[in-house]
Structure 1
Amino acid sequence: MNASHFIRFIVLFFAIASLHAQDISLFQQFNGRFDYVAIGNTLNIAENGPFGPCTIATTSAADLSLETNQNIVAAYLYWAGSGTGDFEIAVNDIPIIAERTFSDALDANRVFFAAFADITDIVSTLGNSTYTVSDFDLSNVITPYCPTGTNFGGWAISIIYEDDTLPLNQLNVYDGLQSVPTFLSITLDNLNVLDNENAKIGFIAWEGDQSLAVNEQLTINGNVISNPPLNPANNAFNGTNSFTGDTNLYNMDIDVYNIQNNISVGDTSATITLTSGQDFVMINNIITVLNSQLPDATIEVDDYVVNCGENEIELFYTTNNFNSTDVLPANTPIAFYLDGLLIGQSQTTNPINIGESESNTIIVTVPEDSNPNLTIIAIVDDDGTMSGIVTETNEDNNINVVDIELLVIPDIVTLPSLIGCNEGFEISTYNLYDALIDLEYEADNISFYLSLDDLEMATNSILIPSNYSNTSSPETIYVRLESPPCYKVYQFELTIENCPPYVPNGFSPNNDTFNDWFNIQGLYNIFTEHQLKIYNRYGDIVFEGNNEKPWYGKINRGINNHGKTVPVGTYYYVLNLNDPDYRPMVGWVYVNY
């Protein structure tokens, strides 16, 4: 794509500057089997001039006659006159209000107006018919204009139609309001003339006088063009309609010229020059019809997908070839930019026919430090250097801009630790949901993980969070709370503490496999340095044990009965946990058989 190639009009010079004029510029473009005709009529009852009648009609009519294979696609109504404007008129009694207005001036006292309305619906409905413009009343404003012959009013309709028998053309509608008080030059760029047969240019002009023919010429590429006898070379603006042959359109012109001998195959531009040595003429509308077979690539980013915490974006896009007269070739390059940085490239897969599209996807990667709120620019016909390889009907519509918000994961929130009682070997059992008591959540939206990688991938979650045994101490648990469109992350520690042992009241060492030993719960393999001493009721020590030596009711201390089971009775224990957080525990245990 080359930005200098879009169609533009450049006004090069005015000998007498207009006070309020609007430069002629591109209004609408049609690419395909299109052509046009124009009809209209004046409100003047005679040619104006210092001795002409100072009266003006409020209504006039013209006939439209299209062939059956000419299908109306657009109809543009222009009307103009002396004064500041009548912007509410009627066509076949249908009220019309100006959608756009124009103004120009010969001097401070002589101002003129023009107006535009799209009446495609009306003309499509009525078709071939007589079109009558009414309620167009300039009677009260023309009197000051009459002595200088600048009193006028008129209207014209440009009808663009499609005809399957036509070649593929590019039809451009330009409008504005510029006067030609000696010299006006306009350059059309970005032409690609493939065949100049039936090439044409047409005008809607106001206030031209048939009687004034002083250096009044129309040239294209330096060649004078004319349609004699209707439009002589020295009197281009003489109150005629080239389409109908009418010669009584006082002070207005609807002219069309064949320019096939004035523009050549391969031309990429054309220069139109209008001159008038005496007559004040205002150009309101220019239409060109050229056989220019070109594609027109446009692109739209239809949708995108971003994942939480990722800087990759999947873009869904469509490449179009709508406003075109030729196929868009396969492998037309596409580039994607962020802040001027190329972040992705693609290309069309297949040739795209006139009026058709092709959809595709691409994954682009934005820099890690990118602002979460970013703007991506997609450009079709861009080789990655902002340069294109395809000549198009319009080089200024290859860009599509899309605003995207990355899904940034909030900072990890640390929750209070869960403390578990040591069940041995620094292992405990936890209900992980207990760590979330201060959060509002639904169970289906919560999952627990042992690593951030698993959390981000949503894999290997802890299966039974309500009954989880740690694998290390301390151990970090990561929590994923779904919070569309993203999720929140929490973490907490699982820690172990040695909880107070539970000492049973008694046991029965009878080898029945039930309660056969002095099972002090929460002691063994937890308080691994503990010492246990057992005394009989006389204060004699009968047993001394540790983490590897629990008491099964056997005597291993004293001077008698080593290895024998103690008699039934109550015994006194002293349990020294050898833990700075606990004092020795003492109490009674009953041994029974």
Structure 2
Amino acid sequence: MLCSYSKILLLCVLLTNTIILAQGEANIWYFGENAGLDFNSGSPVALLDGQLDTFEGCATISNPEGSLLFYTDGITVWDKTHVVMPNGTGLSGNSSSTQSAIVVPRPDFPDIYYIFAVDAQAGSNGLTYSEVDLSLNGGNGAVTAIKNVPLATPTTEKITAIEQANGIDFWVVGHRWDSNEFITFEVTAAGVNTTPIVSATGQVHTGDNDGAIGYMKISPNGEKLALAKTYENSFVELFDFDTVTGIISNPIFITGIFQTELEGPYGIEFSPNSNLLYISDVNAFANTIVHQLDITFNNATDIINSDSILYNGQNFIAAIQLAPDGKIYLANAYLPFLDVIESPNEIGAAAGYSNQAIDLNGRFSVFGLPPFIQSFFNFDFTAENLCAGNETEFTLETNEDIISVLWVFGDGSTSTDQNPTHTYAAAGTYTVTVTVNTQNNTRTISDEITIFDTPVANKISDYFLCDDSSNDMMEEFDLNTKIPEVLGNQSAALYEVAFYENLSDAENDINRLSLLYTNTINNQEIFARIFTIENNDCNAITSFLLIVTDPPIANEVSDFIVCDDSSGDMIEQFDLNNKIPEVLGGQSPTLYEVAFYENLSDAEIDINRLPLLYTNITNNQEIFARIYTIDDADCFEITSFLLSVIEPPIANNVADVELCNDNEPINLEQFNDDVLGQQSSAEHTITFHISQEDADNDTGALPLIYQPISNPEQIFVRIERVTDSFCYATTSFFITLGEEVEAFEPEALTLCDDATLDEIEVFDLSLQNEMIINGQTGTYTITYYTSQIDATSGSNPISNQYTNTSNPQTIFARIGDSNNPFCFATTSFQLIVEDCEFFIPQGFSPNNDGLNDVFEISGLNKFEGYELQIYNRYGQLIYNGTNEQGFWNGIPNYGLWNRDNLVPVGTYYYVLFLNNPEVTESHTGNVYVNY
């Protein structure tokens, strides 16, 4: 019996390299204030349907498949439907007894179970048993007439059970009060043997009846028994247990490590591998300490010295119970949580204690958890070396004699070996199932194992450091810097790296080196081991050298001079790559690198490195170059040089050249003065090229006496400084060649003076074009001028319809190649105005052939009012015209003749009236019309 105190919870971590498995009989738990857990999914899930409300003791039993059969607090029994069984009340246990009940099946009778119950605080009911028959009550079970059968009294509140060595029968163990006697009862197919095997060993349990409180457990392998005595004179005892005889022997008394305030040890449990013992150590002030003891030692001193405290806090941690998932759960009194130990086979903190880890979904834990036959947790297997590509070793752990076994590894492979090895090709989670046939039954268990990738030990570059002034070739190396190389693309969250002086140490993971390590010899080989964080056995090894080198030499560097661009700001981009060979000298670029800086301070501490394409800030700016060992940037020397920008020459424009082709070469040197302008010819070199690329690269310079090869042809000019040939400028011009032309002199152009008699007339100058061309082939442009100067320069041309300004007047003509107007020639001719007599032709032929198509009388310019009349041979007037028409085209415009057609061929008569006061007579005659 325990008093009500505070609350606590715990979480645990499952051991990666060992997988623990169990049968389904322990998969359902009911305890505390209507609390429950279901382990059938592999993880505990809170149950809310439990009817049990108990202060301490309780018991639950399920079938091998994990389905609930019934549960009890030692007084009342509920069936799998949570209804009280017929005859299921009034059992002689006590809900305030530490282990008020435990359920044990009757061998060979699958429907018969025995509830062993103990009274509280050495009460008079002592140890009894009752029988449950599941075939009754429609298969839901009932308590039979075999009820509250006394076995011993008075007893402590302790009871535990284990399978016998024969794998069929069971031992049920209690402890007398005021005695040191254990009483072991045998359960066989015949039922319960009420005559106990008595083992008088260890301490006498006596004193105040509260001293009867505390748990007792047998180890899962059946080899050990441990108990906790609470309250006055509290202690823990550890014994050997014989599963063949049921005899308990060889006590080890454990004390001196528990709290002295009232209670002391209460809950107790073994690890799944039976090597560790867990104890909850409580006091009246609700302070609990959870101890872990290593019981592989066979004496009290070493066991006590192995004590690891996993929890020390203000929650009241009471019962401790191993579960089917291989974890240990702890009752956290009056809290809706349980604590958990995730990896109970691990020593110390690696066991993974977690407070308030399992949520009971509002139901409360008190002090007790249901105990089970400890053999339920002994049929298991371990899997070790969980690395892909390596042999994983499986070990079956059971005390039973095995007839046959079948392993299914989850990747399609099987084995019938009892303890097989299997190689997984790939990492992943696999469900492993083992079916075991013994003399008495067949058991199948399965669970998931995780196979981890075996890491790759990537090749590591040798580690170089610069020797210091001691010149002893010994330096401190930061091995941290090599970890990323070993990892490569592998995650540092999954893998770790350690370093060793030799291969043996690396293989056995001993004598790890400090990450700040001083070599013992130069060119020393160091071994790196990369391993999976969750599984150190998955590893790979590589090596590298620790090399101490002499410092590099920073050779003298010439100043870096470039030519300013057109901006004139003396700011330019420098390709510092060009200076690296000078800094290196003959030193290998595979061992040393060069970086550049704006000031000495930056170079010394290697900050603010300049880009290799760098734009200067000021002219003649000093730049610092640091040469350093590639594998050790602290091994360096520094030099400097200037960045200088000089003004470029000016490539002045050269006017395009237009020449008439006379097949003579051109002297390109004649253009030098144009290119130079005011610049000194002694300080500059000028070359001529046929392309911009040649001019930029200073290749393919043309001879100075040059015969053009195309028309037109672009010539590219490069002007560069004599002292700095890289500083240059370019320009270009065209040479165009045209065909020579000749201007032939035409005859004078003559017109008759008009009526004004002012000797001024309008001349059509284009009439001279044909005579000027005189049969030359080509396309020509002819323009006219009033002076030779204008004709030569092509300035001030006059209109082809030109009115003379003097009589006679000289006109100048310019004939030019239309495609190359710079090829031209000039000539001249006279414009003459004469006082002309008029002329009357004697016939015409209006047939539109361009010759004599009209009857036109010349010389009438000065007779502005003349009138011309035409008559047919009948004396009929058929045409009447004036100087407005100026001619007769052979079509009548008067009389009855057809006015739309030409007159017939024949002779017609004309009368010309001049209508001039000075000339009064008329002129008559005939004109012949012929087509």
TM range (shorter): under 0.3
| Higher radius of gyration, 1 or 2 | 2
TM-score, normalized by length of structure 2? Answer: 0.18
Larger relative CO (CA 8 A, sep 6+): 1 or 2? 1
TM-score, normalized by length of structure 1? Answer: 0.25
